[in-house]
């Protein structure tokens, strides 16, 4: 394990208020996003869309890394044919790769999932390294409901996350460890707090058991938040305070950065939450930043609408969201910034 390289990469991801663009939707997920804008999901259209994000001028001021799907890491810009990984590296943006193969039903545990993808992972990681990837992502999905999550679900997912992370570090790739407690349901913020605390406790226990070097990883968690259908929605300040309180309890200070997922929050609210956490007076042991998918992309995707002539508008929208989140990573975002598109 090259400890120095891993630490440098992990720190580069969260340096100077920068964060991650999660553009690693699987072919099926990006197909669903495209169908919402009435666009057919062909390989060329996917390359056009991802290419418009990656070639946005100045995005590197706020984006330190991009998570891609296997197909995207092998694709090139449509004009000029430059490999996306090379294009990003030339801008000082680290290429990343989603390496799990999806969350599948956990046997004997109705309503719960376990993420797969460990078989052959060492060889895949070696190839991804050759293709330019310097960090990876594995997402575990935890659902809150009646009697769930079970200990079996939490432990199975944490075990897989830790084995994935150890394999990444062996290959010189920084693991993004993503245990996502879903926002789906009607539960209140307190329940999310409890389940997130337990999930992260078990995840860090497993990471320790598997010998994962915490200084060379990034955590990508959910925020502590009210469920989407909860009748009482916590305020921005309550979410920020609960999230920081929960993480101070269970996330070791050796972890250099926490890059949140947006998980169904609107893009504005995701930015406000990050900003509120970074505006809190107390110094925090880790950098708090973003690894947003939908919250960084929705405005750009809608502005593009599948039409090449809309690329400049889409890039403007993407740059603006990246800029707002970059400011939020310093606690310097304000609602006025929304009018400065």
Residue among 68 and 208 whose Cβ is closer to ligand 13P: 68
25, 48, 112, 178: which one is catalytic? 178
Please name which of 24, 119, 14 lies closest in space to residue 67, comparing C-alpha atoms.
24
Helix 189-209 / helix 236-250 crossing angle, nearest 10 deg? 30
CB atoms within 10 A of CB 131: 17
Report the b/e string of 298-317 with b at 16+ CB within 10 A.
bbbbebbeeeeebbebbbeb
Choose which of 13, 22, 223, 242 interacts with ligand 13P (CB under 6 A): 22
Interaction with ligand 13P in 68-107: which residues (CB under 6 A)?
none
The answer to whether residues 176 and 218 touch, using CB atoms and an 8 Å cutoff, is: yes
Diameter over CA atoms, the chain: 54
Least Å distance, CB 4 to ligand 13P, is 27
Instruction: Name the segment binding ligand 13P (CB under 6 A); options: 32-40, 163-171, 206-214, 260-268.
Output: 260-268
Percent of the chain that is helix, strand, coil (3-state, to 5): 50, 15, 35
Interaction with ligand 13P in 161-190: which residues (CB under 6 A)?
178
Choose which of 263, 272, 275, 321 interacts with ligand 13P (CB under 6 A): 263
How big is the site for ligand 13P, counted in residues (CB under 6 A)?
Answer: 10
Is residue 220 part of the annotated active site? The answer reads yes
Residue among 178 and 195 whose Cβ is closer to ligand 13P: 178
Least Å distance, CB 291 to ligand 13P, is 6
Interaction with ligand 13P in 118-147: which residues (CB under 6 A)?
139
Residue among 258 and 285 whose Cβ is closer to ligand 13P: 258
Least Å distance, CB 66 to ligand 13P, is 11
Please name which of 65, 61, 88, 89 lies closest in space to residue 13, comparing C-alpha atoms.
65
Residue among 256 and 263 whose Cβ is closer to ligand 13P: 263
Query: Residue 113: beta bridge partners?
Result: 105
Interaction with ligand 13P in 288-327: which residues (CB under 6 A)?
292-295
Residue among 235 and 266 whose Cβ is closer to ligand 13P: 266
Q: What is the DSSP string of 104-161?
A: EEPTT-TT-EEE---TTHHHHHHHHHHTT--EEEEEEEE--BTTBS-HHHHHHHHHHH
Contact positions toward ligand 13P, by CB under 6 A? 22, 139, 178, 261-263, 292-295
Residue numbers annotated as active site: 178, 220
């Amino acid at each position: 394990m090259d400890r120095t390289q891993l630490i440098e990469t992990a720190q580069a991801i969260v340096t100077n208020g920068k964060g991650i663009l999660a553009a690693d939707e699987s072919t099926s997920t990006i197909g669903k996003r495209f169908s919402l804008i009435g666009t057919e999901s062909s390989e060329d259209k996917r390359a056009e869309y991802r290419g418009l994000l990656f070639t946005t001028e100045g995005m590197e001021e706020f984006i330190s890394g991009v998570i891609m799907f296997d197909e995207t890491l092998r694709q090139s810009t449509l004009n000029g044919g430059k490999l996306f990984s090379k294009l990003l590296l030339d801008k000082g943006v680290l290429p990343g790769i989603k390496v799990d193969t999806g969350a599948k039903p956990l046997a004997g545990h109705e309503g719960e999932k376990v993420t797969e993808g460990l078989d052959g992972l060492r060889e895949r990681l070696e190839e991804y390294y050759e293709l330019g990837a310097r960090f990876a992502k594995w997402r575990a999905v935890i659902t809150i409901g009646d009697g769930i999550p079970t200990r079996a679900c939490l432990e199975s997912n944490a075990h897989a996350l830790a084995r994935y992370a150890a394999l990444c570090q062996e290959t010189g790739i920084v693991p993004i460890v993503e245990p996502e407690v879903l926002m789906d349901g009607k539960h209140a913020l307190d329940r999310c707090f409890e389940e997130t605390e337990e999930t992260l406790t078990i995840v860090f226990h497993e990471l320790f058991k598997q010998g994962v070097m915490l200084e060379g990883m990034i955590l990508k968690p959910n925020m502590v938040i009210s469920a989407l259908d909860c009748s009482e929605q916590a305020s921005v300040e309550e979410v920020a305070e609960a999230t920081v309180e929960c993480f101070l309890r269970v996330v070791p200070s050796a972890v250099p950065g926490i890059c949140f997922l947006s998980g169904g929050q609107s893009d504005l609210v995701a930015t406000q939450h990050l900003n509120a956490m970074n505006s809190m007076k107390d110094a925090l042991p880790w950098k708090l930043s973003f690894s947003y998918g939908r919250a960084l992309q929705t405005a750009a995707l809608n502005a593009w609408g599948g039409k090449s002539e809309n690329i400049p508008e889409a890039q403007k929208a993407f740059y603006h969201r990246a800029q707002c989140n970059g400011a939020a990573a310093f606690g310097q975002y304000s609602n006025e910034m929304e009018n400065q598109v």
